[in-house]
Every structure is written in structure tokens, then in C-alpha cells.
Structure 1
Amino acid sequence: MEHEEILVHGSRGSAARLEHTGVAISRLDHATLAQAGVTTINDLQRLVPNLQVENAFGGGQPQFHLRGVGFFDYGSNNMPDVMTYVDGVAYPFGIMTQGVMFDVSEVEVERGPTGATSGRNTTGGDIDIVTAEPTHKWSAGVMEDIANYARSKTDLYVSGPLSKTVTFRLSAETNHGGGYEFNRTTGEHIGNANRGAVRGKLNWAVDDTTTVSLNGHWSIDDSDATPGYLIKPFTTELGAGVTMPADSNHYATGWGISPQFAKMIGVANDAKPFRKNQSWGIDISVKKDFSWARFTSISAFEAMYRHEMNDWDATQSAEADNYFDTNMTVFSQEFRLTSHTSGPFTWAAGLYFYNANMQDEMVTDYMSTHSFINTTRYGQTDTSFSEFGQLTYHPFHNFRVILGVRHENEWKYLNNFYTQRSTLGPATRYDRSTGMDQVSGKVGLEYNVTPHILTYFNIRRGVKEGGFSAYNLTSPSQIAPFKPEWLLAYELGFKAAMFNNRFHLTGAAFKYDYHDQQVQSAVVDSVLGPIGKIVNAPSSSIWGVELEAQAEPIHGLHLSQTFGYEQGQYTQFQIANLTATEAQHAQTGGAWRAVYTNMAGHDMGFPKLTLNGSASYDIHIAGKYVLTPEADYSYRSQETAVLLGPLFNIKPYFLLNTSLTFRPEHGRWSVTGYVQNALNRTYDLTRNFFTTSDFGIVGPPRFYGARMSYTY
């Protein structure tokens, strides 16, 4: 079996192609995503082994972890370890990924370092979202989803030809309601969605060898934010105020801001926590086939405006209320050449340029505790230039040797950074810079035992750029840049298709040597004491195994199962023990001195076991209709808060979803009734603390509803 195609972003398609690609990739087609009720990128963790996605403190900034490689940062300015692509365009800030999952053709999740054939450098992996393409025949469709808690979602599209060579597709989505939390004092509900998005795609077949694609999108998110519940008793105003008991009902919460804070950010005194985010973008792709190679150019511009207010003390007290006002723009340009198959060598090579500009403001309400409001402002620019290439050599039939390399230069500048307290005079302003000059790449071996069984082994080096802890400044040492992280990934795997393609099984075992991992922690200033900061853990180690299986043992019966197990330990990491440091200072006084804890041998805390599975069966009725019952589940073992303590551990949870779909045998409509979280399990998505309050963010309760769709 010849290796026909080198894997690149924006060149998605057949499951058969992925079966002959020696990397671990989960492919989720449109039917799978719809059946599982996937509406946001965060929902993918219910389908992909060793993937976790959670929003920082319940805010709009998602935290991606793949095979234990991830990054925690509630700010807007740093790149995640797991990169999201939409139609080959990188979304380099996590906050940009929260409104892209509509009119989707498929999603591919690649685990492990990437960057040798396209896109950006990553240490964790990629999430590639491929949206539906324009069609050469006229078609249109509508889908309406209605559920309890007044939740509704509407999807529309129209597609067809404008001429013999030009096709278009226009799609849109709206999402409303669904708020399941309530104010513990007033009973008022919070958490309702209010989102809308539209996307347009235009394809032009210039001639037999040249195609041009123009894509544009716009979205708005005017939803309620997601406050937390108190996980332990909380006395407001630094112990001088009201004592709030821990919430026995995890859907209970509270919120409130000071009049001064409301006036400063321009909202009403009784405003709920909210998001008022907008994003838009445009990209143009050109593909030109020559006799010897395909040339691809992807030019993209993305912009986002983040206006978000969160209440992170979960009470009426003004102790940890944050407002983000972020404007970001990203321009990227990628050029690729990919060889056509001929002879013993295939290859891909390219250039990637990236430039991001950000103006950010974070306003924090401390009126109930310190009688002031903090405003942090800064600008950040980030520019990188990369060259990459991959060569595949076929020394003999069914055996391939793969060599990939990437070189990246990156320059990042933090400009005019300052934190202004409302009770003090003008703040000192700072400029900082960092960058990297790094090489990453891959060495791999692939062998087809049979035409339908692939085995592979590869070693990959991944790199992620450094950055800045852009939080409320208390000491200049806080904004000292943290270094780039890198890892060596060793992976041994197989992919098999058996029994006339009715059974597919893939598996992988991996071992990561992780260096300079970027970790949310703290440093100790000699005058001011402990300060929150992202630091580098010198070394750690991760290993694990994965299995994915899909089967159709009899016609109409579809089964799937994934298994992921992983463990990680720090091998060299000294962290500031804040409890011991504060106790020492209380006893000795004078300058602050850090007391460190050696984390060598300590578990890294992520869930060790993830299980996901589904089963559905098509029941044919009188040769005219099909009735399909379906059930899927996901299980996640305990997540341990190694750096925060056992109070912040997330308990294991099991979720079950069921549905029943009725449709004509060859018709255009379908009706589905469903129940999500059918067992009505109460579980936490995350736990954390911010300044004074310890809180958890609860996951959705049971939702039941119906989906109706019609295509023309």
C-alpha cells in the first residue's frame, strides 16, 4: 500500500486516508457530531480519548489538555498547547474558539506535537474543524432544537451554483436560553445563551488545475456568564462581613458588583455576569496543481472583541469581579507545496507567517476587601516566521521512512503594561520582550503488515512559544517572561480495518519527556510576598495508552468505544509553598522568603482514565421508515489539584445520553427526541479559587428535548 498523501491542514476527507497515516487521529463526521449533540468545541471531550476542555473559572477562556499536555491561563494573551484550526486557519487564542461549531462537515483531533507539514507549532496537538462545502446542486436545510430550561438552537443553510464554475454556501445559527443556575438569594436564573453566527463560502474553479475559495464569518455572543457555587464556607470582606455557608445545591450561586465598578465599566449596578463578544474573519485559499506538485496558499485575517464580566467570588460581595475588554487581530499567511505521488519519494514543504496584535484591559473589583479597583492595561504584539518540510521515503513495498523538520523564529512584545489602583496616583509602565529560535520535527517509520493493517513508530519534538503573565501587577518580577516549553514524544501504534471494513481498531502507546512546562503557580517577592505567575517546570514525564474501536457487527448496528489511560509525574520542579511561606513570614516578619516544596515524583493531576462509547441500531419499518435508538456515555476519573490541594479535586463522573430518531428511508426530514445527562448526575467541570473565594463550576443537569430537521 503506497502512502499516497502527506497529512496537511485543510486537506481533510476520507477515513481510509487516516487509516494509512501513522499518527493518532480521531475523526468525527457530521452524523457522529449530530448524534452526540456536540454544539461547542468543549463537547468534543465526550468523544475523544485523553482530551479535556474546561473554561477557566467558568469564564469564556477555554483550557485545552490533550494527553496531559495543556495550559491554564484565564488571561487572553497566551497561546494554548492545543491549536484549533477552522478550514486550515489557526485560531491561536483559546477565547476565539467558542463560536465555530456549526455547519460542520467533520472534526479531526490529532494527538501529539504537530507542525512539520503545515500550520503552527504545538506541543499538545490539533483540533481541525472542517466546515461544509458549497454544493454543485441547489440544496437548503433547517434544523430546530428545543429543550427544557427554554433552550433552543436553530441552524439554517442554503447552497448551490452561481455559474458553471462558481458555487456558494451560506449558513447561520442562533442559540438561546438553557440557563440552569439560580441566585441563592433571589431565585433569579443565570446562564442563558444568546448567540448568533453566520458563515459564507464561495468556491471558484478557475480552470482544471486552479481553485479559489473565499470564506467569511461573523458571530456574536451576548450570553450570561457562568458563576460558580461555594465549595466551603466563605466570610466576606476579609472576615469582617457576612459568613456564607457552602452551597449544598451546586446550581446555586450569587453575584454583585460595587457602584464604582459598574460606573467604571459602563453597566447597571444590578448587572448579571455577561459576555458581549464579537468575532469576524475572512480567508482566501488558492490551490494550483502542477504536473509534479500542488501549490496551496491560505491568507487569513481574524478579529475578536472580548467584553466579558465574571463574578468569581460567587456572592453579592465585591471581592473578585473581573471585566475583560480585549481587542485582538490575527493575520496569517501559509504557502505549501505538496508532491504528487511518483517514485520512492513524496514530500511537502512550506512557509508560515503569523502576526497578532492585542490591546487588553482587565478591571478587578476589590471594593469590599481593599476599597479600590484595579485596572490592568497593556498591548501585545506577536510575530513568527516558520519554514517546514517533510520527506517520505519508500525503500521497499509497504514500508516508509518519514523525516520532518520545522524551524521557527518568534518575537513577542509586551508594551506599556501597567496596573492602576483607583486610590493611587499614576502607575509605572513597563515594556518587556521575549522570543524563540527553535527547531522541531519528526522521525517516523510506517509498515503495512497487510493492506488493511498499519503499524507505526515515531519520535516528535514539539515546541510552544513563551509569554507573559498579564495579571494585576504587584511587582515587576511578575511580568518577567516565562520560557518556551518543548517535549519529545515517542509513539508506537497500529490501525486496522477488518471483516470487510465492518470493524476498525486503532491503538497507540506514548511516552513524553516534557521540558520547561508552562504552569500556573506563584513566585514570592521579598517586599510584597506571594504573587500569581506562570512559571516553567523544568522537567516532567507523561505516558499512556489509547484505543478506539468502531464496529458494525450486523447491518444497522453501530458500536463505538474509546479508551484512554495516562499518567504524568513531575521529575524536577520546585514550587513556592504559599501556606508555609505565609506562616514563616508571620513568625519572623521582615522580608518575605519563599519556602519551596519539591514536586519531584508528584502526580501531575489530570484524569488518568477516560472512556467514551456509543451504540445505535437502525430499525427498518415497512420498508419506508427508519427508527434509530441510540445511547452514548462518557466517564472521566478523578482530576487531582496537585498544586492547590484536595479541596479542589474534581470527583470522577459518568454521563449517559440517549436519543430516538425517526426518519423516512430515503427522505429529507428527521425527528429526534433526546435526553442529555439522562441520570441527572451532578458533577463539576472545574474548581478553583480567586483572591478570597473557593468555588466550583457545575456541569449541566439533565436536558431533554427534540430536534427536527428538513433538507431540500
Structure 2
Amino acid sequence: MVKRTCRRSMLLLSSIFVSALALPRAADAQAVSVHKTDAHPGKKDAAIPAARAAGSARPTRTDDAVASAGAPATAAPEQILVHGAQNNGARLQHSGVAVSYLSKEVLARAGVTTINDLQRLVPNLQIEPAMGGGQPQFHLRGIGFFDYGSNNMPDVMTYVDGVAYPFGIMTQGVMFDLAGVEIERGPTGVASGRNTSGGDIDIITAEPTHRWTAGVMEDIANYARSKTDLYVSGPISRKVTFRLSAETNHGGGYLHNRDTGEHIGNANRGAVRGKLNWEVDETTRVSLNGHWAIDRSDATPGYLIKPLATALGNGPTIPADRDHYATGWGISPEFANMIGVSPDQKPFRNNQSWGIDLSLTKDFSWARLSAISAFEAMARREMNDWDASSSFEADNFFDSNVSVFSQELRLASRRQGPITWSTGMYFYESSLQDKMITDYMSTHHFINTTRYGQGSQSLSEFAQMVYRPIHNLRIIFGLRHENAWKYLNDYYTQRSTLPRANRYDRFVGMDQVTGKAGIEYDVTRDVMAYFNVRRGAKEGGFSAVNLTTPSQIDGFKPEWLMAYEVGMKTEFFQHRLRLNGTLFKYDYHDQQVQSAVVDSVLGPVAKIVNAPRSTVWGVEGEMQAEPVKGLVLSQTFGYEQGQYNRFQIADLTATQAAHQAGMPWTTIYADMKNHDMGFPRLSLNGSISYDIHLPGPLHGYVLTPQADYSYRSLQRAVLLGNLFNIKPYFLLNTSLTFRPEHGRWSVSGYIQNALNRTYDLTRNYFTTADFGIVGPPRFYGARLSYTY
């Protein structure tokens, strides 16, 4: 019944959209224009015709930061702020939410190659590799959770050109040929896209051009690391343009086997993307995108932070690693046979992903109609060694196949007046077939196979209205309603030594209303103050781990929060100085937390649970300045703090001690009230660069030295213990670039982690092993780029 209703709704919406495309063009329809702003604060907006504007053919995601509410009061109704236009810094200065914009130049200078690297540039953003694997863990303003499984939606949603990537593992490998990245902090979803409680990461890829252009970039560094980027773009006809881009990554392995000295951690990735834009007429545009990627890199095993007594004490004890770049690996012959590899196989990834999406827009004199239809698929084959040794204690193989279909329709007003509005619907359907095989041969003499299917659907309706009673005041109100359903089918864990295991089915649902109310006031043309209240929600799910008791896979509830934010965005000295500041407070309900429960027969088992009440608050500041021509400074500041208000967890130490004293398995609880939530309180990021115009024989050339840094304070593992705390760390990167003033090429030399600091990305445990995943050491290299 649910599926039938969803499909009927989408068929109805599709028919409405097709009918709208067939309508005659309004006689008074005006040409659409795009705001295209310069990357440096100090350059003013320039309107350019849509027929020649990069990105004008694509109806990319209009989120809370780019809805009509965020347009300056003086903007004409036919001037649409396109999400994907290059250099969006000035546009975002007129949006009443906290958004960080990173241009392609900033991303290149900072050496960003994966989405995980963004945490070095954005305040209060953490992206950790779960257990060192390919699954990223997103936390934004403390909102997020830890889960090494493939099946649960993150609190922070990643979009690529307006298409949501609802599984974290899908986000690895999309960071190439970009126009920029936007990170919106706080609940989103009242103007477009999916419902999130933490925020959005919007990846904006480069658009086809109406002039022929091509480019190549080669980056080489120590540890045999290399990266190559290529693109070609141009017109097929007067109305059709294309862009084809590709990237490869190789080498860079900085870990070594503590026993043999063999290296591990090399990248071996490749990706290609094709984009086709068709300007049907002055008011109708179509965009077709396709991409494919493969990742055959080494996995990243950890180092031992505590001695490992192998085989439950019956084997040799491996001391804790003083060398954090040392590790170990090894799998049993039985495990190797089950997953189809040789017994001496290194931990590895063999992942493939592909997708296609079609976008259409139709402009009328009174509104713009937009649609994005997308299909994404991924096959994950990944083997990790979580005991960091040659013993067979915690080796895992993931075999996951995921497919996602999404359809979004939006209608937004274009006429001038005191009221502007937008409305739309979003449909989502996914299918996941997942298998995890775990090697316990050294400890328990069996191998576990956990297998299940998971299907999910959601249907949302959203609307937002902006009322402008006077020219410099905007009042915003938005609502979203979402129904979501998630099914767990035929879930079982099979021990290799036991007969056929029982199968289980589970179901969770969500029916939530979220929304936003806010006010924006332009104090002057260059100073805006705002306040908003947002309610965000995230769907529930399942703990997809090795099953020991049926209650372990009972669904956890959706989480939701009330977010209060007040801020100011300012520019001074003819746009040479930009200062933005934000204060926020979250009332967090039913927070999803990786923890454990106690089974009456088996004792403690891992499970994601809900913390009833918690609070997060913080402050953020961002500064960009060009005090003199050529000198560019940036600085971000983030401070956040969170604590549990009402949350009782199983005290595993006390519970196990009571059981060893002869009591039956009974949960002894620890009260977490007023306990810190553990995430880093302080994050600092900054950069400085200066263009030196050379004299004499080198007149006409520019030399640009640059340095950037990032700092993260202590991250406390409140639920795991102090052993798993991540110490504070400070990273410094430097570079020197030589280029012609108006040329097409540049040469850069750089040093990443110039101080060669040793720091951890994450710490965790699995069965018998306690391990950490170390961050990259010092890399030095050169980068050459040429554009034709």
C-alpha cells in the first residue's frame, strides 16, 4: 500500500511537470541571469546572460542557504541565484544561515583530495574514517554518530550537484574537477533535498563551457604518490555544451608491517565524469550527468595502542606500537577461501560506483519549475584487519551492493513583491544487499557471516515563504513533512561451525514535521543580522553488526533537535574585509549513540541506542581579508560543547564484575547526566598568501608563497574510556607557486604536515584489539597545471 501510494504520487508529479514543459512560453518571460561573484572579497557581483553562464543549464539544489529568502532586497525578480555558479561567497553573505564556501582554488592549495580533508578548512566539522575503513563518520557542530556498518544514513548529508548521497561510503572519490564546496551547518530540508539534523556538504562540480577549453594537472610527491586530473569542455552546437573530466590517484602508502617492513596504504583510484547541457530555448534547460569510479587501494590498518595477547592469551603477546606507522596483517586460510583471495592478501578495497542524473528547468514569468531525477549505485568489496597483527582475531570483509533512486520537484516564485515562495516534493528509494564476514579463527575457531537486505523509502513535501514588509527586513517561514520507511529483511549471522542460523525481519518508520522560522535584517548594504529557529530530524535504523541475540537488531528511533542560531555577516573597507559570526544552541532529543545493551543470556552486546536528551552549544567565526592587493588572509574559529541531560548506559565493567561474582546477567546502569559528549571543543583553521609581482627579467610573473594550518583540541571517548581519547594536534602546510600574470600554467612546490606531527584520525577497538589510525606524515611534492 505504501509503495503504491508513493508511486502514484510520483506519477502525478511527473505528469504535472511534463504538462508544464508543454505549455507555451509566456510572452512576457524575461531572460534569466546568474550572479557570478569573484572569489576574493572586494570584487562585486556581475550579472551575465544565462545562455553563456556556467551552470545556468542545471537546476541544482536550492537549499536553505540559497532559497529566495537569501536574496538581497535589491535583487530583481528575474535574477536567479544559481547554486553552482562559480565563486559563491558574496551570494552566501545574504543568506541567514551559517555556510562556509570553499572555492576550487582554496581546495587545490589546501591539498584536498577526499571529502575527509574538508575538516581541515571548516569550523566544528569532523570527518573520521570508521575503524580506518572507507566509511566516513560525519560530525558537524557535534551532530553525528559512529557506525562502521554500511546501512545507516549520516547526520550530515553529502550532495553532488544537488543529488543526495545517503550512504557515507558513497562519498569517497567525488572530489575532482570542482567549482567549489559549500558546507551548511544546522538542520536543513525545508527548501529542498533530504531531511538532516546536522547539516549539508554540497559538492559543486565544474560546468560545461561555451568556449573550447581543456586542462591538465599533475601532482607528484614522496612515498611515490601521484595524482593526475584532466578535463575538456566546449560546445557541440550553439545550444549544447559538454564537459568530460577524469582523475587518477596512485601511491602514498606511509604504513609498514612491523615484522616484514612491507609497505601498505597505497592509493589506486580512478574516476571519470561526463556532463551535457542543452539550452532548449530561453526558458527551458536540460542537463545530463554521468560518472563512474573505481577504488582498488590498500586499506588502512591501525597500530596497537595497547599490548595484544593473541589467541586469548594462548599465543604471543604483541607490545603496544611505539612507532605509530607500524602495523600488521594476516588472515586464516579458511577466511581467505571464503572471500576468494590468497592467504597472504593485504587489506584492500575493490569498490566501484556509478550514477546518472537528469535535470530540467522551465522558467515562466511568475515561477521556475525544476526537477532532478537521479540513480546511484555502488559495489563495496573491502577487507580490513582490525587486530593490526598476523593473528586471526578481527579481520573483516564487506561485500555490499547499494542502489539509490531519487526524484525531486520544485516550484519557486520569480515575480517581484513582498512575498516570495518555494515548494516541492522529494521521493527516495534505496536497496542494500550487505554481507560482512569476520575471521575469529585464532580466538574462537570459527568464522561469522552476517547477511541481510535493507530497503528504504521516503516521501517528503516542503514549502518556504519569505515576507518582506520593508526593503531591508525579511521574515522566513518553512515547513517540511516526511514519511520514511526502512525494512530489514532476512537478517542472520551464521557461524561456520553451527547449522543454519535463524533469519529475522525488522521495520522502523518515521513521520516527522520539521521546519524553520527566521528573520533577516540588512543593517546596511554590507551588514546583515539574522536569527532563526530550526527543527531537524533524522530517520531511525538498525545496528547491522554480528548478531548474537535477536534484540540486538531491534530498530533505534529517529532523532530530532531544535536549533537556535543568531548571527551577523559583515563586509568592510570596500569588501576587503569579511567578518561573520554565529552563536548556536541545540536541544537534542533521542540522539543516536553507538553503545551496548546487556542480554539476559549472552551478556553485553553492541547496539546503537537513543540518548533521550542532550544539549549542544557553541560559537563560530570566519574572517577573510585582503588588506593590501595580493595579500589574502583567512581564519575560522569554532568552539562547541555538549553534554548529556538525560541518558543512562550499561556500565559494562560493573555489569561484568557482578556476573563474575555469581549474579545473572542484569544491567547495571551508569548515569551520564552532565557528562561531556566528548567531541573536540576548539577548532582553528587559517591561511595566508601573498602575490609577489616579480621585477626585472621576470616582469609579468607572479610568485605566491602560502601557508595554512588547522588545530583540533582533545577529543574524549566518553563511552569507551580515556585510552581512546584523541590528543590535540596542530598541522601546518606550506606552498610556493610560480605563474605568469595572465598565463595558462602554474608550478607549485608544497609541504603538507610541514612539522611532521604524528597524530591520530580515530581510535577504537574490535574484539581483542585496541588500535589507532594514524594521520599522514610529512608529504612534499610539486604540482604542475596547464589550461588551454
What is the TM-score normalised by the length of structure 2?
0.89
Does 2:357 align with 1:283? yes
Among candidates 611, 627, 638, match of residue 684 of structure 2: 611
**Corresponding position of 2:421:** 347
Q: What SS does the aligned partner of 1:401 have?
A: strand
**Corresponding position of 1:577:** 651
Among candidates 647, 652, 658, match of residue 728 of structure 2: 652
Cα pair distance change 1:80/1:484, threshold 3 Å: same
Distance 1:11 1:292 in 2: 22
Q: Per-residue deviation at 1:7?
A: 8.1
**Corresponding position of 1:677:** 753
Q: Per-residue deviation at 1:588?
A: 1.7
Are the aligned partners of 2:86 and 2:179 in contact in 1 as well (CA < 8 Å)? no
Q: Per-residue deviation at 1:255?
A: 0.3
- Give the unaligned 5+ runs of structure 2: 1-71
Among candidates 73, 85, 91, match of residue 17 of structure 1: 91
**Corresponding position of 1:151:** 225
Q: Which digits, 9 at most, give the CA deviation of each residue in 1:221-278, with x for residues without a partner?
A: 0000000000011101111111000000000000000000000000000000000000
**Corresponding position of 1:661:** 737
Among candidates 763, 770, 781, match of residue 694 of structure 1: 770
**Corresponding position of 1:273:** 347
Among candidates 165, 178, 187, match of residue 104 of structure 1: 178
Q: Per-residue deviation at 1:14?
A: 2.7
**Corresponding position of 1:503:** 577
Distance 2:760 2:424 in 1: 43
Distance 1:235 1:201 in 2: 54
Q: What SS does the aligned partner of 2:298 have?
A: coil
Distance 2:228 2:182 in 1: 24
Q: What SS does the aligned partner of 1:34 have?
A: helix
TM alignment of 1:77-92, pairs within 5 A? 77-92=151-166
Distance 2:414 2:622 in 1: 31
Are the aligned partners of 1:257 and 1:270 in contact in 2 as well (CA < 8 Å)? yes
Distance 1:490 1:479 in 2: 34
Are the aligned partners of 2:87 and 2:103 in contact in 1 as well (CA < 8 Å)? no
Are the aligned partners of 1:29 and 1:106 in contact in 2 as well (CA < 8 Å)? yes
Q: Per-residue deviation at 1:6?
A: 9.0
Report the RMSD for the aligned CA atoms in angstroms. 1.0
Distance 2:486 2:83 in 1: 25
Are the aligned partners of 1:6 and 1:338 in contact in 2 as well (CA < 8 Å)? no
Q: What SS does the aligned partner of 1:588 have?
A: coil
Distance 2:369 2:74 in 1: 19
Are the aligned partners of 1:8 and 1:118 in contact in 2 as well (CA < 8 Å)? no
Are the aligned partners of 1:145 and 1:706 in contact in 2 as well (CA < 8 Å)? yes
Among candidates 211, 216, 236, match of residue 142 of structure 1: 216
**Corresponding position of 2:122:** 48
Distance 1:509 1:127 in 2: 20
Distance 1:348 1:699 in 2: 44
Distance 2:81 2:633 in 1: 27
TM alignment of 1:203-282, pairs within 5 A? 203-282=277-356
Among candidates 604, 610, 624, match of residue 536 of structure 1: 610
Distance 2:308 2:439 in 1: 18
**Corresponding position of 2:147:** 73
Kindly provide the amino acid, as one letter, of the partner of residue 508 in structure 1. T
**Corresponding position of 1:367:** 441
Q: What SS does the aligned partner of 1:261 have?
A: helix
**Corresponding position of 1:592:** 665
**Corresponding position of 1:441:** 515
Distance 2:324 2:226 in 1: 24
Sequence identity (%): 74
Are the aligned partners of 1:9 and 1:128 in contact in 2 as well (CA < 8 Å)? no
- In proportion to residue count, which structure has more strand? 1
Are the aligned partners of 1:3 and 1:20 in contact in 2 as well (CA < 8 Å)? no
Distance 2:440 2:653 in 1: 22
**Corresponding position of 2:491:** 417
Distance 1:43 1:54 in 2: 10
**Corresponding position of 1:382:** 456
**Corresponding position of 1:317:** 391
Cα pair distance change 1:430/1:7, threshold 3 Å: farther
**Corresponding position of 2:11:** none
Kindly provide the amino acid, as one letter, of the partner of residue 702 in structure 1. R
Cα pair distance change 1:640/1:7, threshold 3 Å: farther
Distance 2:595 2:373 in 1: 37
Kindly provide the amino acid, as one letter, of the partner of residue 577 in structure 2. F
Distance 2:90 2:630 in 1: 20
- Give the unaligned 5+ runs of structure 1: none
Q: What SS does the aligned partner of 1:118 have?
A: coil
Q: Per-residue deviation at 1:355?
A: 0.1
Distance 1:707 1:580 in 2: 56
Distance 1:35 1:550 in 2: 16
What is the TM-score normalised by the length of structure 1?
0.99
Q: What SS does the aligned partner of 1:314 have?
A: coil
Distance 2:704 2:89 in 1: 23
Does 2:189 align with 1:115? yes
Are the aligned partners of 1:183 and 1:189 in contact in 2 as well (CA < 8 Å)? yes
Are the aligned partners of 1:9 and 1:119 in contact in 2 as well (CA < 8 Å)? no
Are the aligned partners of 1:6 and 1:347 in contact in 2 as well (CA < 8 Å)? no
Cα pair distance change 1:176/1:468, threshold 3 Å: same
Q: What SS does the aligned partner of 1:477 have?
A: helix
**Corresponding position of 2:69:** none
Q: Per-residue deviation at 1:87?
A: 0.2
Kindly provide the amino acid, as one letter, of the partner of residue 170 in structure 1. L
Are the aligned partners of 2:365 and 2:415 in contact in 1 as well (CA < 8 Å)? no
Distance 2:74 2:772 in 1: 48
**Corresponding position of 1:703:** 779
Are the aligned partners of 1:136 and 1:161 in contact in 2 as well (CA < 8 Å)? yes
Q: What SS does the aligned partner of 1:16 have?
A: helix
Q: Per-residue deviation at 1:196?
A: 0.1
Q: Which digits, 9 at most, give the CA deviation of each residue in 1:268-300, with x for residues without a partner?
A: 000000000000000010011100011110000
Among candidates 449, 454, 457, match of residue 528 of structure 2: 454
Q: Per-residue deviation at 1:621?
A: 1.1
Between 332-341 and 611-620, the greater mean CA deviation after superposition: 332-341
Among candidates 588, 593, 597, match of residue 514 of structure 1: 588
How many correspondences in the alignment?
711
Kindly provide the amino acid, as one letter, of the partner of residue 330 in structure 1. V
Are the aligned partners of 2:84 and 2:179 in contact in 1 as well (CA < 8 Å)? no
Are the aligned partners of 1:10 and 1:87 in contact in 2 as well (CA < 8 Å)? yes
Distance 1:397 1:668 in 2: 44
Kindly provide the amino acid, as one letter, of the partner of residue 332 in structure 2. S
Are the aligned partners of 2:576 and 2:626 in contact in 1 as well (CA < 8 Å)? yes
Cα pair distance change 1:6/1:538, threshold 3 Å: farther
Kindly provide the amino acid, as one letter, of the partner of residue 82 in structure 1. V
Q: Which digits, 9 at most, give the CA deviation of each residue in 1:555-606, with x for residues without a partner?
A: 00000000000000000000001111111100024x3111110000000000
Q: Per-residue deviation at 1:12?
A: 7.5
Distance 1:273 1:709 in 2: 34
Distance 1:377 1:541 in 2: 36
Q: What SS does the aligned partner of 1:96 have?
A: helix
Distance 1:71 1:406 in 2: 24
Are the aligned partners of 1:122 and 1:462 in contact in 2 as well (CA < 8 Å)? yes
Does 2:69 align with 1:2? no
